[in-house]
Amino acid sequence: MYSYQLNDFGSIDHLQRVEEPRPRPGRRQVLIRVAAVSLNYRDLAILHGKSTLSPQAGLIPLSDGVGYIVECGEEATRFTCGDRVAGIFFPQWLGGRLTPGNSGGAWGSRADGWLTEYKVIDEASLVAVPAYLSDEQAATLPCAAVTAWNSLVQSRPLQPGETVLTQGTGGVALFAVQFARLMGLKIIALTSSEEKAARLRELGATHTINYRQHPDWHQQVNALTDGVGVQRVVEIGGPGTLKNSLKSTASGGEIALLGFVAAGEQTVDFMTLFTRGATVRPFSVGSREDFEHMNLALAQSELQPVIDRVYAFSETLEAWRYFDSQQHCGKVVIRMETEEPAAR
C-alpha cells in the first residue's frame, strides 16, 4: 500500500509518498480501506511548524478520513466488514470533558494520520457516518464539522433568534453558518470578497461584512445588532481578530476560541475584556459522543458539506499546494483510488 509521510517541517517538499506493507488489525481493532480524506488548517500549521500540538516528524498526516472496514480483529464487535466509518479527532476522547488522559494520540500530530490507503484503528475511535453523504462529504466531518457544531451547542446552546458571528470561508466557518441556519440563528459572516459573501448568503448568512474594507468591523457588527452585539463568536482568527471580536460580543456572550489563522497582536486590552462581560472559551473539536450527536442532526437535515475541490490520491501534493494558497471556499478533499470488496 501507499502512504504519504511528513518527514520534516517547513516545506511541502518534506511530504513524500512511501510504500509500506498493509497492516493487520489486532485485538478490538479493524482494518479500514480509506476512501477519502480532507485537509484542515491544523495540517498546514503542522507542515509549516506553527502547530500548538508539538507534532512528531515522520508521521502520516491528516486527522480527517472516512473508509470501509475490510477486516475485523479479534473481539472487534462495534462494526462489521463493509461498514463505512470515520475516525474521531482525539482517538481516546469518547465522551465527557477533554482531559490530559484522553487528549493524546491526535492523528497526524502524535500518531499516524489518514493520508494512506489502509489504516488500522481501534474500533472505539470510530463512528458510523450518515448514509446520505458521499465519501468525499463524509471525509469533511471529523475536525471542521464537529468543531463548528460544538462552538454553537456548548457551553450554552444558542436559542433561535440569537446572533452568531463567523469568520471567513474555511471549513469550520462554513459548517458554523450551515448549523446556525438549522438552529434558527441570525448570522453575521466576515469575509474578504463579494464572491465569497454571495456564497455565504446562499448558505444562510443574514449579513456579510468585508473585513478588508472595514478593518474595524466590530463597528458594523454593533450597528447590525442595534448596539447589543452578538451572543456567540466562532473565533477562528485568534491573534488578529480577538480584539474586534470582544468589541462585537454582547454582555454575557461567548467567544468560542477555535483557531489562530489570522496574524496580529497577541495582547487583549483588559478594559475591553472587563467591560464587555464576555466569556472567552477555548474549544478543541469534540468527543466521539459529540460526533455522534452531530450526525443525528446531519441525518435529519441532510445538510450538504461545502467542498471546494476534490483531488485524486496521486494529486496529493497539488491538493496541499492549493489549500496552502488560501484560495478555497469550503473543504479540500483527496479521494483514494484503491477499491476492493470487504473481506470477512
Measured torsion, CA atoms of residues 168, 105, 123, 69, in degrees rounded to the nearest 10: 60
Determine the pLDDT at residue 7. 94
Instruction: List the chain residues with pLDDT less than 70.
Output: 51-53, 260-268, 271, 338-344
Q: Which phi and psi (to 5°) does residue 58 adopt?
A: 85, 5
Q: Nearest Cα to 142, choosing from 62, 82, 198, 218?
A: 62
Global pTM value: 0.93
Determine the pLDDT at residue 237. 82
- Residue carrying C-alpha cell 471546494: 308
Side chain identity at residue 317, one-letter code: L
Helix orientation angle between 194-203 and 171-182, rounded to the nearest 10 degrees: 40
- Residue 177: left (phi > 0), alpha (psi -120 to 50), or beta? alpha
- Report the topology of domain 155-282: Rossmann fold (3.40.50)
Domain ranges of the chain: 2-143+306-335, 155-282
Q: What is the DSSP letter of 23?
A: P
Determine the pLDDT at residue 266. 56
Determine the pLDDT at residue 36. 98
Determine the pLDDT at residue 55. 83
The highest-level CATH class for domain 2-143+306-335 is alpha beta
Fold match flag (2-143+306-335 vs 155-282): no
**Longest Cα separation, the chain:** 63
Determine the pLDDT at residue 277. 78
Compute the half-sphere exposure of residue 341: CA atoms within 13 Å on the CB side of its CA: 2
Cβ-based burial of 14 (10 A; exposed 0-12, middle 13-18, buried ≥19): middle
Q: Nearest Cα to 230, choosing from 211, 243, 245?
A: 245
Determine the pLDDT at residue 51. 63
How far, rounded to the nearest angstrom, does the alpha carbon of residue 297 sit from its chain's CA centroid? 17
C-alpha span between 145 and 119 (Å, rounded): 22
C-alpha span between 91 and 40 (Å, rounded): 17
Strands 186-191 and 163-167: parallel
